[in-house]
Amino acid sequence: MTTVLDGKKTADALMTDLKNTVTTLKAQGVTPALAVILVGDDPASAIYVRNKHRRAESLGIRSLQIQLPKTTTQAELLGRIADLNADSAIDGILVQLPLPAGIDEQAVIQSISPEKDVDGFHPINVGRLWTNLPGVVASTPYGIMALLAYYQIDVSGMNAVIVGRSNIVGRPMAALLLNHDATVTMTHSRTKALAEKTRAADLLVVATGRPEMITADMVKPGAIVIDVGMDRNAAGKLVGDVDYAGVAPVAGAITPVPGGVGPMTIASLMIQTVAIAKRRVHEQQ
């Protein structure tokens, strides 16, 4: 029987414990606070921000939604980030990507204080991850590791194959898996004989943005399949990067779309915001 790795159920369970932690922090005089900046009016980004805000409020985390017009200049955006960096009551800062044309994404990411960079994209946090030092980690890979841990899946010694090399998922995922003693193979759009690589995977993580590109013949029987994709197929149906109907009977465990990795991404964002707030408690003592 294939195990469905239920991200919604897992996130809800983790958030129950986290809510208790938030309550304890408030009793100690610290309210965890997350500031999310949205520039422009991208509909998908607006949905992501709204979902983060709802989850934060449900936990008792102070949630600041900062909506800026599409005409905002890079200098204006950097000014708002500087203000948040200087605000001791703000624990986490997140700038929703993508940004409008004309704004340098890397300049924005690097302007966020590494200590408040709750997305884990700042080069200092990326460096800490790759050198296996404590720090903030990109939310989606962090969430995937939390999901595997919830289902008591130990990746140590596994052959892990990642399809996709983005800075948001693929690269930090590789670092996390290496730090947990997996043997990691990175693949991408230029990889030759991709199916040969994926069929060797005990753990397959797919983050390409290509609807249902991973088919049953590309998956090792019994493999754990993590689908990070959120796409629309030709019929307009919401699907992942994995052909779920075909792959699920082959896999030993698989994440659904929706309800798999997505809820874990937001959960991990909340967990790391609260972790930063905990440090604030220690600083005040």
Binding-site residue positions for NADP(+): 164-166
Check residue 100 and report its DSSP letter: P
Q: Could you tell me if 171 and 184 are in contact, meaning their C-beta atoms sit under 8 angstroms apart? A: no
Written as one letter, the residue type at 155 is V
Question: Which residues are documented as binding site?
Answer: 164-166
Check residue 259 and report its DSSP letter: S
Active site residue 87: no
Q: Determine the Cα–Cα distance for residues 151 and 230; give it in Å rounded to an integer.
A: 22
Written as one letter, the residue type at 268 is S
Q: Determine the Cα–Cα distance for residues 58 and 40; give it in Å rounded to an integer.
A: 26
Written as one letter, the residue type at 60 is G
Measure the CA angle with vertex 208, ends 253 and 107; round to 5°: 125
Three-state DSSP state, 206: strand
Q: Determine the Cα–Cα distance for residues 159 and 222; give it in Å rounded to an integer.
A: 13
Written as one letter, the residue type at 269 is L
| Contact partners, residue 4, CB within 8 Å, separation at least 6 | 248, 253, 254, 255, 256
Cis amide bond preceding 69, omega within 30: no
Three-state DSSP state, 68: strand
Active site residue 96: yes
Catalytic residue among 6, 52, 91, 243: 52
Q: Could you tell me if 208 and 164 are in contact, meaning their C-beta atoms sit under 8 angstroms apart? A: yes
Catalytic residue among 91, 119, 227, 243: 119
Catalytic residue among 6, 91, 96, 227: 96
Active site residue 42: no
The catalytic residues are 52, 96, 119
